[in-house]
Amino acid sequence: MANIPQRIIHEYLRHDKKFPHVWCAGCSNGIVLGAIIRAIASLNLDRDDIVMVSGIGCSSRMPVYVDFNTLHTLHGRSIAYATGVKLHKPNLKVIVVTGDGDCTAIGGNHLIHAARRNIDLKVILINNNIYGMTGGQCSPTTPHEAIATTAPYGNIEPDFNVCNLAMGAGASFVARTTAFHVLEMQGIVKDALEHPGFSLVEVVSACPVIYGRLNKKGGAPQMMKDFRDNSVPLAAVDKLPPEKVEGKIIRGILRREIRPEYCAQYASLVERIKDKEADNG
Amino acid sequence: MQGNEAVAYGALDAGVNFFAGYPITPSTEVAEILSVELPKRGGVFVQMEDEIASICAITGASLAGAKSLTATSGPGFSLMQEGIGFAKITETPCVVVNVQRMGPSTGMPTSPAQGDIMQAKWGSHGDSPSIVLYPDSVKESYELTIRAVNLAEKYRTCVILLLDEVIGHMREAVRLPDMANVRVINRIKPTVPPHWYKHYDENQKYLSPLASYGEGYRFHVTGLTHDSHGFPTNKSSEASEMMERLRKKIDYNIRDLVQIESHQMEDAKIAIFTAGITARAAKAAIAMARAEGIKVGLLRPLTIWPFPDDAVRKMLRNVETVIVPELNQGQLIHEIQRLTKDKSDGNLIPIQRVNGQLITPNDILRKIKEVS
């Protein structure tokens, strides 16, 4: 019998039920899924304790494929559902997989408030700059002047910098990477999983079939090369002349700070009240 | 005690340990009381960023094993509709309390109205049978809150409790029962090993066991049409199975779900059919009319959805005239019309009011005298 190499991801996929997946050839979602799984495996987390929550969109189809507790919710609302899960069972590791439209348009309100609360959710935001599932409409991260089916003459709106948005709202862990930088992505996801507080990881990713074609990006391999050539690690930013940084994707952990986490705050509130009640009683 | 207080204490006595909500008059007291009481009991109170987040958070918490509830009013109830549909299709227990106010839109904050009767049934897109309860007093607000939580757990669905603004804010002397006498129903937990578990087990009379996240079952939940394991499907056979299951779990248990009060109906020639605060006005009108020798009675649904078809058919057989007073432009009356086969429309008399004022006993008495 042929010696078929077993890979770690196979242990975490619901292989018997849900494949083939819905993603197009060249899509970055599978790369992100692989990185998430390897990060989880590297931490040896118990899969019974992992809840993967998503909203609506291409990336949000991810939970159905993985053998965790999984919750595929409404468009934009994954963080709100995840908040309920996490608050009731803070021991669970709650990962939210979302896209740019899901998280920063319809779900923007939940994103900023979860970041403000610093609730320990791990938000993996796969940013492909477009609504893929509905066929290529403009999203809040579609670049200025880029083409979308609802911006046929070029997008006149400025785009969100989602990491700045999350930091402005108070997220305690914020990082950016690209679908090309797979090992970096795995490391960042691992760091996010270990961080005690609201974590947002933006993965700049490729939608070659829709965004790429509309904007003549040259196909999946070329888009990957562009991520390689048009991004700069945070550590190098200060060493490079400004013209080499201008317009580039800055990669790395942009913020990592410890501040009170919401579930922990709630637990200490409960303790305080119980003590007070006991004193009174 | 106030109606909203009764809801809060009913929720606690039913075992609710998770509340997520957003302030809105006339329901806010429910949130305020639970923000005091839940932390004392180790439960969770969280004020979310809006009503959409609130329904989502209570649904997520319920999947993690909580007994959860939220409270709102019309505008918030409208915002929650998509989430209510999600809780229903995913068969996740939770309770939404809607202390109704006059709409549409911001309407008259916060005058009473009974305008959400149809929204409570049809508010979310797609077909999704509903369980909706409707108390007429502070005491009954307590009792029906417990019942709402119990039914949510038993039938694995989002149960709605409709209050009138005046019930929510009315104060009445109430003696709450001993906790020993409160019947609390908890969801059935699976007894099979994880690899045998079906999140929607078709073999359990539509009342299937429910695992929680973090217990080793690792099930999938989706708002997509799904198979009995919870995985999305495009097969029409599996889609019909799922839709039938949602319908049958209500239809096959109608006797358990329907609750109705029949007041002085034994010899009645005229029946009044209404719910909530308007039923109290009707009772006062009946007392006055009976004093003048008019045989009139009241049929009052405590469960408004599923609709008490059988009781209404029986009523229609036995009386000559039905008066339907309601604080809207005609919602309950259409259900009575639906069940009216042999009678002419002349015998079905509406009293409708949507100006922020209640329908008074005298309004109803006048109509009784007109038709008697």
Place of tokens 């019974």: A48
Chain mean position to CA B99: 11
Across all residues in chain A, what is the average pLDDT? 96
User: Residues A261-279: pLDDT tens digits?
Assistant: 999 999 999 999 988 888 8
**Inter-chain contact B223–A72, Cβ cutoff 8 Å?**
yes
Q: What is the CATH number of the domain that holds B335?
A: 3.40.50.920
pLDDT at B206: 74
**Inter-chain contact A77–B64, Cβ cutoff 8 Å?**
no
User: Residues B155-186: pLDDT tens digits?
Assistant: 999 999 999 999 999 999 999 888 888 999 99
pLDDT of residue B344 exceeding 70: no
Spell out the residues 6+ positions from residue B51 whose beta carbon is closer than 8 angstroms to its own: B21, B22, B24, B70, B72, B75, B76, B77, B79, B80
Q: Is residue B244 part of a domain?
A: no
Q: What is the CATH number of the domain that holds B66?
A: 3.40.50.970
Residue B318 lies in domain: 261-371
pLDDT at B350: 97
CA-based end-to-end distance of chain B = 38
Residue A179 lies in domain: 8-280
Q: What is the CATH number of the domain that holds A274?
A: 3.40.50.970
Per-residue tokens: B112: 């009473």
Residue of A74, A82, A273 lying closest to B223 (CB–CB): A74
What parts of chain A have a pLDDT lower than 70? 1-2, 17, 281
Answer with the one of B181, B197, B223 that is the final residue of a domain: B181
**Inter-chain contact B220–A70, Cβ cutoff 8 Å?**
yes
Answer with the one of B152, B181, B210 that is the final residue of a domain: B181
* B182, burial (CB in 10 Å: exposed 0-12, middle 13-18, buried 19+): middle
**Inter-chain contact A80–B56, Cβ cutoff 8 Å?**
yes
Q: Which residue of A has its CA nearest to B54?
A: A80
Query: Could you tell me if the ipTM is greater than 0.95?
Result: yes
- Are the C-beta atoms of B156 and B210 separated by less than 8 Å? yes
A177: closest CA of chain B, how far (Å)? 29
Amino acid identity at B68: S
Q: Is residue B98 part of a domain?
A: yes
Q: Is residue B73 part of a domain?
A: yes
Query: Do B31 and B128 sit in the same domain of this protein?
Result: yes
What is the count of structural domains for chain B? 2
What is the count of structural domains for chain A? 1
User: Residues A37-69: pLDDT tens digits?
Assistant: 999 999 999 999 999 999 999 999 999 999 999
Q: What are the chain A neighbours of B17 within 8 Å (beta carbons)?
A: 88
pTM: 0.97
Under an 8 Å CB criterion, which residues of A touch B?
Answer: 14, 17-18, 47-49, 51, 53, 63-64, 67-74, 77, 80-85, 87-89, 91-92, 109-110, 113, 266, 269-270, 273-274, 277
**Inter-chain contact A77–B223, Cβ cutoff 8 Å?**
no
Q: Is residue B23 part of a domain?
A: yes
- Are the C-beta atoms of B282 and B136 separated by less than 8 Å? no
Q: Is residue A2 part of a domain?
A: no
Q: Is residue A87 part of a domain?
A: yes
Q: What are the chain A neighbours of B231 within 8 Å (beta carbons)?
A: 17-18, 64
**Inter-chain contact B218–A113, Cβ cutoff 8 Å?**
no
Q: What CA–CA distance (Å, rounded) separates A206 from A217?
A: 10
Query: Do B50 and B166 sit in the same domain of this protein?
Result: yes
Q: What CA–CA distance (Å, rounded) separates B302 from B145?
A: 12
What one-character-per-residue DSSP string does A242-276 give? HHHHTTPEEEEEEEE-----HHHHHHHHHHHHHHH
Answer with the one of B138, B156, B181 that is the final residue of a domain: B181
* B203, burial (CB in 10 Å: exposed 0-12, middle 13-18, buried 19+): exposed
Q: For chain B, give the percent of residues with pLDDT over 70.
A: 98
Per-residue tokens: B67: 């007994």
Spell out the residues 6+ positions from residue B170 whose beta carbon is closer than 8 angstroms to its own: B2, B3, B138
CA-wise closest residue to A123 among A28, A184, A53: A53
Q: Is residue B252 part of a domain?
A: no
Q: Is residue B331 part of a domain?
A: yes
pLDDT at A97: 98
**What is the strand order of the sheet A173-178 is part of?**
A231-233, A249-256, A173-178, A199-204, A121-127, A93-99, A50-54, A69-72, B220-222
Q: Which residue of B has its CA nearest to A274?
A: B40
Q: Is residue B191 part of a domain?
A: no
pLDDT at B346: 57
